[in-house]
Amino acid sequence: MKVKKAMLVPEYYREHIQPRLPWLLNNADGRPFLFYSKRGILQSGYSLKQAFHRVNYQNCSCVKALPNPWITEFLHKGLGFGTDCSSTSELLLSRAVGVPGTDTMYSSNRTTRDQYEVAMRDGGCIINFDDITAMDRVPGKFPEVVCFRINPGKRRTGNAIIGNPYDAKYGITYNQIIPAYHGAMKRGAGVFGIHMMVCSNEKRSPYFVETIREILLVAAMLKRKLGIEVSIVDIGGGFGIPYKAGDRILNLEWIGERGSKLLNDFGNEYGFMPKLITECGRFVTGPHGFLVNPVVSVEQKYRHFVGVEAGMLGCPRPAFYGSYHYTEVYSPSGELRTGPCHFTNIADSLCENWGRLTPVDRPRWLPKSIRPGDIMVTFNCGAHSGAMASNYNGWPRLAEYLDQDGTNENVIKIRRAERDEDLFRTVTRSGRFTLPGQGV
């Protein structure tokens, strides 16, 4: 298998986005924002479909990666993608843009009876049980279509982000597989799926083929012991993207070719072939989101700092995981800053020492020519970036814009920036004080 190396700046960026940065920032009133490319997202999504064209395949995009209905809608209408939801609010978002229940996986955990009630309304969805006891919390008539998330335990190793399966909070054990499916059969389920996700942002291509192999072994066991012909095998998401120069990239065609062979061989041996589902979110949207920040300050303390408003506010991954995000800085007119460089730290406005776009122990090699008023762009912010932001320290979250075709006329705001009054709307009214936004 040929290992491909990363190209961190998408091909369309230099031509269609970089020259427009001053206009975009001015259009956003000089405030930081997140910017997504529809063209790039659709290209990544199409590459998934092409890789698995040999089998019955669907990607159910992980809503948590980028929970914006504009994105979910065009992925569904443009590529036929379904959704993978882990909360009732994500289910409501999915339904609001017209994704049918047959294309919606509800992969929740520690799920209450009330949450299952929401899941089963309005056409329902495919329930993916995370634990064998969860079946007891389903109200009313048991769903006909059910999945179980299986944790392979010490049969597989995980990776740095998700950890080892044996230590994970997700999924039933191997000893619980037969009791779980038998219990669902007794409750009235008639269509079954198997779910197994054991990695996150994984860039080793063979890893996903091994997951398909492992899950088909479970399907064979269910056929032998319970007579179940599994209809769905869901290998989850976890398809990684490169964040650093020189990172390997997934060989999708290789994964698709070998995974499809496993499925076809299984079908020839057992007389039925399940539909393959992935839940790729990061892989589809991640490389096509950009955090745009005006540079607020350049500071020399014991260490050198470049100050921006939105670090954890727009991309918390460096603070949470020590993650690396490639960054470029441009002059106010849009020219790339070059020349002699030095190590500097990119710090944000939060009253928290971890409020940075560079981890504390990993400064960034950036040009010495950076000045206040410059434009900083942080790449690979299309997934688990704005979605993970919070209102910590009372900061309103950022606006989001969608570039539909590379022209200014077709840039649309798909989420307005929060305002201070938005943060107080849920505070109960009191005669002792008045808060902005109360009574709105």
Token duo for residue 405: 């075709």
Q: Which residues pair with 202 in a beta bridge?
A: 239
Q: Round the average pLDDT of the chain to a whole number and report it.
A: 93
Cα separation values, 231 from 212, 216, 277, 402, Å: 14, 11, 11, 36
**Percentage of the chain surpassing pLDDT 90?**
84
Instruction: State the amino acid at position 182 in one-letter form.
Output: H
Question: Model-level pTM?
Answer: 0.93
Residue range 384-393, pLDDT digits in tens: 999 999 999 9
Q: Is the pLDDT of residue 161 over 70?
A: no
Give the best-scoring range by mean pLDDT among 5-14, 42-51, 431-440: 42-51
Residue 425: which pLDDT band, with cuts at 50, 70 and 90? confident
Q: Looking at domain 286-424, which CATH architecture does it have?
A: Beta Barrel (2.40)
Q: Which of 10-14, 158-162, 223-227, 425-429 has the lowest mean pLDDT?
A: 158-162
Query: Are the beta carbons of 310 and 346 closer than 8 angstroms?
Result: no
Predicted pLDDT of residue 166: 62
Count CB-CB contacts under 10 A for residue 146.
24
In tens, the pLDDT along 6-31 reads 568 999 999 999 999 999 999 999 99
pLDDT of residue 198: 85
Per-residue model confidence (pLDDT) at position 358: 95
Q: Is the pLDDT of residue 245 over 70?
A: yes
Give the integer Cα–Cα distance in Å for 251 and 114: 42
Q: What does the domain layout of the chain look like in residue ranges?
A: 107-280, 286-424
| Mean pLDDT score, 276-301 | 97
Integer angstrom CA distances of residue 191 from 36, 98, 180 = 38, 23, 14
Residues 172-221: tens digit of each pLDDT: 999 999 999 999 999 999 999 999 998 889 999 999 999 999 999 999 99
Q: Among residues 161, 147, 65, 77, which one has the least CA distance to residue 109?
A: 147
Selection from 228, 208, 209 nearest residue 218 by Cα: 228
Pick the CATH number of 107-280 from 3.20.20.10, 2.60.40.10, 3.40.630.10, 3.30.1180.20: 3.20.20.10
**107-280 and 286-424 agree in CATH topology:** no
The model's pLDDT over 306-323, given as tens digits with 9 standing for 90+, comes to 999 999 999 999 999 899
- Give me the DSSP letters along 271-289: S--PEEEE--SHHHHGGGE
pLDDT single digits (tens) 366-423 = 999 999 999 999 999 999 999 999 999 999 999 999 999 888 899 999 999 999 999 9
Identify which of 384, 312, 398 has the alpha carbon closest to the alpha carbon of residue 347.
312
DSSP code, position 430: B
- pLDDT at residue 346, rounded to an integer: 98
pLDDT (tens digit per residue) in 88-143: 999 999 999 999 999 999 999 999 999 999 999 999 999 999 999 999 999 999 99
Question: Of 295, 403, 381, 388, whose CA–CA distance to 34 is shortest?
Answer: 381
Burial 305-327 (b: 16+ CB within 10 A, else e): bbbbbbbbbbbbbbbeeebbbbb
285-295 burial: b if 16+ Cβ within 10 Å, else e: bbbbbbbbbbb
Q: What sections of 10-133 are H helices per DSSP?
A: 11-16, 21-27, 38-51, 69-79, 88-96, 113-120
What pLDDT shows up at residue 45?
A: 98
